[in-house]
Amino acid sequence: MGEKEPMGLRLCTAAGCRNFGSEALRIALNGAISLSGLNRKITVKGVGCLGPCGEAPVVAIDGATPRLYGALQPCPAEHLAEGLAAAAAANDLESWSPPGSRAIDLNHPFFRLQRRWVLKNCGQIDPESIEEARQAGAYQQLAQVLQHGTPQAVVAAVSRSGLRGRGGAGYPTGIKWTAVASQPAGEKLVVCNADEGDPGAFMNRTVMEGDPHRLLEGMAIAAYAVGASRGFIYVRAEYPLAITRLRHAIGQAEQEGWLGALVQGRDFSFKLELRIGAGAYVCGEETALIHSIEGKRGVPRPRPPYPAERGVFGLPTLINNVETFANVPVLLALGTDAYAGGTKVFSLTGQVRRCGVVEVPLGRSLRSIVETMGDGAPEGHSIKAVLTGGPSGGCVPAAKLDTPVDYDSLKALGTIMGSGGMVVLDDSTNLVEIATFFMDFSREESCGKCVPCRAGTVQLHGLLQKILDRRAGPGDLAQLESLCQMVRDSSLCGLGQSAPKPVLSTLRHFPGDYQALLMPEACP
Amino acid sequence: MPGLPGLRASDQDLDTRFANDLHSQGPNPDGLIEILNRSQAIVGYLVPTHLRQIARHLHLPDSRVWGTASFYHLFHFDPPPQHSCLICTGTACFVQGAGPLLKQLQRDGVAQRLKQKGIELGTVRCIGTCGGAPLAVIDGEVCNHQNTQTVLENLAGLKNIAELAL
């Protein structure tokens, strides 16, 4: 009788599950396996995000029937060992589940409707092992382009694929790459914007913690395509695990010759460094990010010149978001036709029954994401709106849930795709409170360089507070709207230009929420 | 260095560790934020005398070092409190009730009692683990699905903290 494949446990040890004690559980499980002498029958490894973060901590069990369990309880190794030993003695490890856990249905649309391309390896491989990453396909596309491709062919493939910036604005990636590639020869840089500052968004964290080599590969291909020899990843300090894993991954990639001098013996060198932020939302804006990488105050500057011409240290610089780079190996592997614009990763949170990270094809309806996959609002409530794009975005009202989620449809509704944070609001929420919350955020995060943003956000927040306190009249509402337009049209950078968006969007779709708060005596 | 407060004598070894770390770094001005991060990690906050040493090491004017350090939220110029309790005010936590939670803790009586026990109440903007919303970060540990009662219970569980009532 041949030895059966060991049963594999994949325990999520990304930051979300880690905060629910998954690292301690991993140690306990390993201890239990040794105690019960089942080393050849069960293996445990820590992996990146498995998706349903609302059920943390989550473990996937591989076997004849794949299983997923959530809400794992802390448990001493001895106790786990008893359960495992009993199941093994009955020859029934397949029915063992972690004590106190909840089974999660893998056939639920939350899983079934996903198309995991960028997150293909996330939750499958040990993010600290470059061997596992390579076995799962990492660095194959880089090897391919170095061996058989040309920089021009890579830029052309990215242009043809229709990939657009996944950081928020949706600028066509191919145009950006072409602009940097066409700069005169000389030192050029590639920068990854990993300053995921939108509150309620954690897609980039998921990629960096779960499959860091995919990001490194995407950046190396970009460097080759545009002729850059140095690069930076600018990560926010609030993501310590992502920083550790990236640092570790860069070391491994250098050792194996995927980064550094003469990559794979070819005439291409790429030195990659990490830069850690220090808490400033505005540093997600590309010119502010450039200053921060240079060790200065993270204040934006007017464009042009665009970073493609004069970026970090005044050199031509390509700046893309984490997910944009992570898409590059996917689109090269699949080819333009199969890629068809690609997927988008969303973090689904707020008043929704299933919260977590999902990856879906672009153009999927918002309803299918929040209602079918996310199971809608909690018991007894219905969805009122969905926030997209964070403090720079707006809301989609429940009546418009059939809108396809793509850059242009969301823009037509007065919001933006944004980086992928999706916060669901149920009927217990007042949208004026949400608008005030976002304005408070923008006011606090305004760098102060230009007057419309510095003073405008203060005034806007004051007006919103006045409305919330029921001290405002219809005149205040008119002033609120005109001030929003002024700040939007005259601010220096994206932060100020989009700070009024949540207000304008909620005014447009939920005027009733504002009207209801006006002073009764002021209304005719 | 007259006029600039330094560390207490008992913290001399921190001074030494800071200086050793600083001189292990190259004098690249673009590494300023990295150096500030490292100094704060060693000492717990940015000390004026250290900022001056950093300026000299990087051949930068003091104004550039102070100006940069004061721009970013995560740099502190005062010794850290004995204990910290940060309520997340990201969007997901906000819609799940972080606002009222923070207000409850900021009420006169409660905030004062916390302060007397050496606990500093503050906020943090989204740490990106919204599955646990609303959450609090107590002395660096993330506590998920919090309400006023559980925050106070968690704080009461800290070393040297006796019972805390609302």
Using N-to-C axis directions, what is the helix angle for A474-490 and A451-468, rounded to 10°? 160
- H helix or E strand, kind and range, residue A426: strand A421-426
> Which residues of chain B are within 8 Å of residue A501 when distances are taken between CB atoms?
none
A154, HSE (Cβ side, Cα atoms, 13 Å) = 28
Q: What is the DSSP code (8-state) at residue A484?
A: H
Is B142 within 8 Å of A237 when comparing Cβ atoms? Answer: no
d(C-alpha B96, C-alpha B98), whole Å: 6
Subunit contact B128:A15, Cβ cutoff 8 A:
yes
Say if CB A375 and CB A354 are below 8 A apart: yes
Torsion angle of C-alpha atoms A103, A109, A112, A113, degrees rounded to 10: -150
Question: How near does any CA of chain A get to the CA of B39, in Å?
Answer: 13
* Whole-number pLDDT of residue B109: 84
Separation in Å, CA A347 to CA A49, A53, A350, A374: 11, 9, 10, 11
Q: Each residue of B7-61: pLDDT tens digit?
A: 654 578 999 999 999 999 999 999 999 999 999 999 999 999 999 999 999 999 9
Which helix (H) or strand (E) covers residue B104, if one does? helix B99-106
Per-residue pLDDT of A190-204, as tens digits, reads 999 999 999 999 999
For Cα atoms A327, A329, A333, give the angle at the middle one, nearest 5 degrees.
115
SS3 of residue A273 by DSSP: strand
From the list A199, A275, A447, the residue facing B126 with the nearest CB is A199
Q: Residue A391 has what pLDDT?
A: 95
Burial A365-378 (b: 16+ CB within 10 A, else e): bbbbbbbbbbbbbe
CA–CA–CA angle A272, A273, A277 (5° rounding): 140
Q: How far is CA A206 from the centre of its chain?
A: 6
**Tokens 């493939």 correspond to what residue?**
A157
pLDDT greater than 90 at residue A392: yes
Determine, for residues B144 and A20 on separate chains, whether the beta-carbon distance falls below 8 Å: yes
C-alpha closest to that of A414 among A504, A311, A280, A295: A504
Sheet containing strand B83-88, edge to edge, reads B119-124, B83-88, B136-138, B141-143
User: What ipTM goes with this model?
Assistant: 0.93
CA distance B101 to B110: 12
Residue A48 has pLDDT above 90, yes or no: yes
What is d(CA A400, CA A397) in angstroms, rounded to the nearest whole number?
6
Q: Name residues 275-304 of chain A within 8 A of B (Cβ).
A: 275-281, 292-299
Which token pair is B76? 């502190």
Question: Under an 8 A CB cutoff, do A279 and B72 touch?
Answer: yes
Pick B142's closest partner by Cβ from A19, A355, A425.
Answer: A19
Residue to mutate among A423, A446, A447, with most B CBs inside 10 A, is A423
What's the CA gap between A189 and A424, in Å, rounded?
Answer: 38
3-state secondary structure of A482: helix
Phi and psi at residue A441, in whole multiples of 5°? -60, -50
End-to-end CA distance of chain B: 46
Distance of CA A472 to the CA centre of its chain: 38
Using one digit for the tens of pLDDT, what is the confidence trace for A310-331? Answer: 999 999 999 999 999 999 999 9
- Pairwise CB contact (< 8 Å): A437 & B91: yes
Q: Whole-angstrom Cα distance, residue A136 to residue B27?
A: 41
Output the pTM of the full model: 0.95
pLDDT band for position B159 (cuts 50, 70, 90) = confident
Whether A368 and A113 have beta carbons less than 8 Å apart is answered as: yes
For the sheet with A189-194, list strands across it: A271-276, A230-235, A189-194, A317-321
Spatial contact of A395 and A414, defined as CB atoms under 8 Å apart: no
pLDDT at B6 over 60: no
Cβ-based contacts of A196 with chain B (< 8 Å): 128
What does A324-371 look like in DSSP terms, one character per residue?
Answer: HHHHHHHHHHH-HHHHTT-EEEEEEEES-SS-EEEEEETT-BHHIIII
pLDDT of A79 above 50: yes
Q: Considering CB atoms only, which of A19, A238, A433 is closest to B144?
A: A19
| Sign of the torsion angle spanned by Cα atoms A164, A283, B40, A200 | negative
Name A321's bridge partners.
A193
A1 confidence band (pLDDT: 50, 70, 90): very low
Of the pLDDT bands very low, low, confident and very high (cuts 50, 70, 90), residue A169 is confident
| Band (A519; pLDDT cuts 50, 70, 90) | confident
- The mean pLDDT value of chain B amounts to 90
A433: number of Cβ within 10 Å: 18
How many residue pairs bridge chain A and chain B with CB atoms within 8 Å of each other?
131
Show residues of chain B in contact with A20, CB under 8 Å: 132, 144
Q: How far apart are CA B7 and CA B18, in angstroms?
A: 11
Contact indicator for A157, A331 with CB cutoff of 8 Å: yes
State the DSSP string of A275-314.
Answer: EE--S-GGGGSHHHHHHHHTTS------SSSPTTTS-GGG
Q: What whole-number distance in Å separates Cα of residue A88 and Cα of residue A90?
A: 5
With the C-alpha atoms ordered A123, A193, A351, A406, is the resulting torsion angle positive or negative?
negative
For A53-70, what is each residue's pLDDT tens digit? 999 999 999 998 999 999
Q: Which residues of A237-259 are buried (b: 16+ CB within 10 A; e: fewer)?
A: bbbebbbebbeebbebbbebebb
Q: Do B33 and A280 touch (CB under 8 A)?
A: no
3-state secondary structure A151-215: HHHHHHHHHHHCCECCCCCCCEHHHHHHHHHCCCCCCCEEEEEECCCCCCCCHHHHHHHHCHHHH
Tell me the nearest-neighbour CA distance from A150 into chain B, angstroms.
33
Distance CA A276, CA B73 (A): 13
CB contact A167 to B (< 8 Å): no
State which residue of chain B sits closest to A347, comparing Cα positions: B130
pLDDT at B108 > cutoff 80: no
State the nearest Cα–Cα gap between A68 and chain B, in angstroms: 17
Read off the pLDDT of residues A201-239 as tens digits, 9 standing for 90 and up.
Answer: 999 999 999 999 999 999 999 999 999 999 999 999 999
Cβ–Cβ below 8 Å for B128 and A280: no
Determine the average pLDDT of the residues in A13-38.
96
Q: Hey, are the CB atoms on B124 and A238 less than 8 Å from each other? A: yes
